[in-house]
Amino acid sequence: MVFIFLCSRLLILQKALSHYTWRVPELLHRLLSYLEPKLTQVYKTVRDRIGCVLEDIFMFDVCLPNTLPTKSPHTAEFLDRTLTRLKTLLAGGKDIHVMEEDGVGVQDKRAQAIKLLITVLKWLMLSSVDYLCTPVLQQLEILPQLFKIATIDNNCDELKMDASSCLWLFSQGLLYPNQIPLVLKILHEVAGCIYWHARFSVLPYLQSVVFYNLSIIQSMEQSVEDVRALVLRLLEDEQLEVREMAAKTLSGFLQCNFLAINTSMLNHFEALCKTKLPKRRRDLGSVKDPIPSVDLVKRHAGVLGLSACILSSPYNVPTWMPQLLMDLSAHLNDTLPIETTVKKTLADFRRTHHDNWLEHKQQFTDDQLVVLTNLLVSPCYYA
C-alpha cells in the first residue's frame, strides 16, 4: 500500500499548489527538484501521478515572441537533463524489458531509464491534450525513437501504447514555421529506418502534420517540395503496405490541392510504369514467390501513383483522367500486386462516378469508352 500513500501525498500537494497558479514559481522549482530523482518509480500509479504533477509544473512555461521568459520551470531545460539520462536507452538497439511492480530486485540503469521514459511520456501526453502548445526542440528530438518504440514488438505494452499516443498527439500540434523543416527532416530520417512498421507510421503522422498546419506549410515552397519528395520516396518502398499507404497519402494531398498534378509528376509515374519486369522464376519445391525485385517495386509504384491521381478526383473527370485510365488498364494483366491495384482502382472509379456517369462519359472518346466499358463489365474483370 506504499504507492497509495505516495499518490495521496502528491495529489494533495498538486491541489494545494494549483490554487496559486503562476504566483509561486519558486515552489514549482522546489517541487520539480524533489520529483526528478523519483521519476523512475516502480509503481505505475505513482508514475502516472508524477506525470500529472509535471503537467501543472510546466503549465506556465509559455514562450511568446518579443516577451521575456517566465520564472516558472522551463520545459526545454528539464528535457535536456532528462534526455541525458535517457541517452543510453534511446541509443541502444536491445529489446525493452520492464520490471514487475512488486519492486523485487535491484533495477539496473536500463530498467530505470525505461521507467523514466514512461513517466516523461505520461507528462507529454497530458500536456498535449490539455494545452494548445507548440513542442519545444527537445520534444522533437525524441520523435525517431518514438516511431521505433511504437512499432516494434516488445514485452512492454505500456511503453508502446504511450509512444503511439504521443505520436498521435504530437502530429496534431501547431508548429512554428522554423520548426516545420526540422520535423520533415526527422520524418525523412525515419523513412530510412530498417523497420517497415516505423516507415509505415511516418505517413499517418505526415498527414496530420500537414492538415493541422496546412496554411503555414503551403506558404513554404521548400517544405511543400520536401513533403512531395517524402511521399514519392515511400511510394517506392520495398514493403507493400508502405507503398499502399503512401498512395493513399498522395491521393489525399492531391484531393485537397496541397500537391498539384502536373506534367512532371505524371511523367514520373509513366516512366515507373514502363519499368520492365524480369521473368518470373520459382525454385523447384518452393511454394512462396521470391522477394519482389526492385523492378517490380518501381513498376508497382508507378501504377500506385496513377491510381492516386485518379482517386483524388472521385466526383469529376479532369481532362487528364481518361488517358490515365487507359494507361492504367494496360497493366491489368501484370503480376501481383499490380493486378490487384488496377482492379481496385477501376472498381473505385466506377463506384464514385456511377451516379453522374451520363455527364462524365462526355469527357471520353468513343474508343476510350469502348475500352473502359470492356474493363468494367467483362467477366475477366470480376474473376
Q: pLDDT digit string (tens) for 48-62? A: 888 889 888 888 887
Residues 159-180 have a mean pLDDT of 87
- Residue 210 has what pLDDT? 94
- Residue 301 has what pLDDT? 93
Domain-embedded: residue 101: no
Q: How confident is the model at residue 174 (pLDDT cuts 50, 70, 90)?
A: confident
Q: How confident is the model at residue 153 (pLDDT cuts 50, 70, 90)?
A: low
Phi/psi for 299 (5° steps) reads: -65, -40
**213 vs 11 pLDDT, higher one:** 213
Is the pLDDT assigned to residue 381 strictly greater than 50? no
- Residue 228 has what pLDDT? 95
Instruction: Look at 145-149, 153-157, 297-301 and tell me which has the smallest mean pLDDT.
Output: 153-157
Separation in Å, CA 199 to CA 144, 149, 337: 11, 12, 20
- Residue 302 has what pLDDT? 92
- Residue 380 has what pLDDT? 47
270-294: pLDDT as tens digits: 999 888 877 665 554 454 555 468 8
- Residue 104 has what pLDDT? 42
317-329: pLDDT as tens digits: 888 988 898 888 8
Domain-embedded: residue 82: yes
Give 364's contacts (C-beta < 8 A, 6+ positions apart). Answer: 317, 322, 372
Instruction: Look at 146-155, 246-255, 300-309 and tell me which has the smallest mean pLDDT.
Output: 146-155
Give 115's contacts (C-beta < 8 A, 6+ positions apart). Answer: 39, 40, 41, 42, 47, 98, 99, 107
**pTM for this one?**
0.84
**C-alpha closest to that of 355 among 318, 325, 317:** 317
Is the pLDDT assigned to residue 330 strictly greater than 90? no
Coil, strand or helix: which one is 177? coil
Domain-embedded: residue 41: yes
Domain-embedded: residue 237: no
The mean of the pLDDT values for the chain is: 82
Domain-embedded: residue 205: no
Residues 250-261 have a mean pLDDT of 92
337-370: pLDDT as tens digits: 888 999 999 888 888 888 888 888 888 888 888 8
Domain-embedded: residue 23: yes
Distance between CA atoms of residues 14 and 182, nearest Å: 35
Most confident of 62-66, 116-120, 127-131, 226-230: 226-230
- Residue 98 has what pLDDT? 46
**218 vs 134 pLDDT, higher one:** 218
CA atoms within 13 A on the CB side of 190: 29
Residues 172-176 have a mean pLDDT of 85
Domain-embedded: residue 340: no
**76 vs 102 pLDDT, higher one:** 76
Q: Are 353 and 311 in contact (CB under 8 A)?
A: no
Is the pLDDT assigned to residue 234 strictly greater than 90? yes
Residue range(s) defining the domain that contains residue 47: 1-61+73-87+109-133
- Residue 107 has what pLDDT? 55
Structural domains in the chain (count): 1
Coil, strand or helix: which one is 132? coil
**C-alpha closest to that of 303 among 333, 276, 280, 272:** 272
- Residue 369 has what pLDDT? 86
Residues 58-70 have a mean pLDDT of 77
Domain-embedded: residue 16: yes
